[in-house]
């Protein structure tokens, strides 16, 4: 059984145990059933207005967030509970300091290139204007990307312009060019997506940005490749900006030691759902 199949089966087992009655494709009847608690007002507004159409069902399927394997549902279950609460425990679990002031889901940072900017799953803000962007992955990284796929549209490489370098990211510029020329390949880490987020963040707040990559880890050969690609990405972007990474399992483990009994129902939920197959 593949790692992705194992992950999805674990989510199906959790849903059945919790009497959520998933359909065969792994969707629940509504996205509310896929969440620890109802969306906070800020989260509901962000996902309603966002370009990802996470809350809208289609003729072919329920809402994306109703999928047991939904990355947005994982991010919401991990972070939305902390909406309106002090974020010191979150900062401790993420291994960052100081604690941010607030966060928002589905954050967009336009680059001036036109079109719809990519959605960052989460953006933490600080009183001094610092921004920490968070990209979250659940099962997506387990599917390897095809070789020689188009990673960037041509607009990211206008003639005689170097978009990343212009906003203080020269290493990212070289890496983006290398990926575009197929000189550098990432099969499990979506490095191109991370570079687009870096460009948007640096355009919005030059010199005051960092990026966090948080992912659900799984046993299997894909995990070793994924880890190696994360390390390579971090080394290649160098000092362009602070880049953090951690598994959700590590995040929830750290959180367990940072919070008190008043948060026990939340912690029990994320542990039973997301940590029983921890690596």
| Beta-strand relationship, 131-137 and 242-247 | unpaired
pLDDT, tens digit, 9 for 90 and up, residues 109-141: 988 887 788 889 999 999 999 999 999 999 999
Spatial contact of 259 and 82, defined as CB atoms under 8 Å apart: no
Greatest CA separation for the chain: 58
pLDDT at 111: 86
46 pLDDT exceeds 70? yes
Of 235, 227, 158, residue with least CA distance to 199? 158
CB atoms within 10 A of CB 248: 22
Residue 82: which pLDDT band, with cuts at 50, 70 and 90? very high
pTM, two decimals, is 0.94
SS3 34: helix
Of 275, 266, 146, residue with least CA distance to 218? 275
d(CA 74, CA 47) in angstroms, rounded, equals 14
pLDDT, tens digit, 9 for 90 and up, residues 226-271: 999 999 999 999 999 999 999 999 999 999 999 988 999 999 999 9
> Would you call the peptide bond into 170 cis, given omega within 30 degrees of 0 as the criterion?
no
How buried is residue 10: exposed, middle or buried, by Cβ count under 10 Å (0-12/13-18/19+)? middle
- Structure tokens that stand for 233 in this block: 């990405």
pLDDT at 279: 45
Give the single-character DSSP code of 67: B
The DSSP code sequence of 153-208 is -GGGS-TT--HHHHTT-HHHHHHHHHHHTTSS--SSS-HHHHHHHHHHHHHHSTTS
Residue 207: which pLDDT band, with cuts at 50, 70 and 90? confident
Name the helix (H) or strand (E) containing 48: helix 41-49
Residue 2: which pLDDT band, with cuts at 50, 70 and 90? confident
pLDDT, tens digit, 9 for 90 and up, residues 150-194: 889 999 999 989 999 999 999 999 999 999 999 999 999 999 999
CA angle (21 as vertex; 18, 31 as ends), nearest 5: 85
pLDDT at 13: 92
What strands lie across the sheet with 131-137, from one edge to the other?
Answer: 102-108, 119-125, 131-137, 209-215, 242-247
């Amino acid at each position: 059984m593949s790692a992705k199949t194992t992950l999805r089966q674990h989510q199906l087992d959790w849903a059945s145990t919790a009497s959520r009655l998933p359909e065969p494709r792994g969707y629940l009847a509504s996205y509310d059933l896929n969440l620890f608690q109802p969306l906070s007002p800020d989260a509901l507004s962000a996902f309603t207005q966002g370009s990802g159409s996470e809350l809208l069902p289609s003729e072919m399927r329920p809402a994306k967030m109703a999928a047991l394997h939904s990355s947005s549902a994982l991010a919401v279950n991990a972070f939305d509970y902390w909406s309106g609460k002090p974020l010191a425990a979150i900062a401790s679990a993420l291994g960052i300091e100081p604690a941010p002031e607030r966060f928002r889901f589905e954050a967009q940072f336009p680059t001036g290139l036109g079109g719809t900017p990519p959605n960052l799953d989460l953006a933490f803000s600080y009183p001094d204007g610092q921004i920490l962007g968070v990209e979250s992955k659940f099962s997506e990284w387990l599917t390897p990307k095809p070789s020689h796929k188009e990673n960037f549209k041509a607009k990211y490489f206008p003639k005689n312009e170097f978009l990343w370098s212009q906003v203080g990211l020269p290493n990212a510029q070289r890496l983006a060019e290398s990926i575009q020329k197929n000189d550098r390949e990432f099969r499990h880490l979506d490095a191109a997506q991370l570079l687009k987020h870096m460009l948007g963040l640096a355009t919005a707040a030059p010199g005051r940005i960092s990026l966090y990559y948080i992912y659900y880890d799984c046993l299997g050969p894909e995990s070793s490749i994924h880890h190696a690609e994360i390390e390579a990405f971090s080394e290649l972007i160098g000092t362009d900006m602070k880049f953090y990474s951690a598994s959700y399992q590590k995040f929830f483990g750290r959180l367990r030691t940072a919070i008190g009994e008043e948060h026990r129902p939340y912690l029990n939920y994320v542990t039973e759902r997301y940590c029983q197959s921890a690596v």
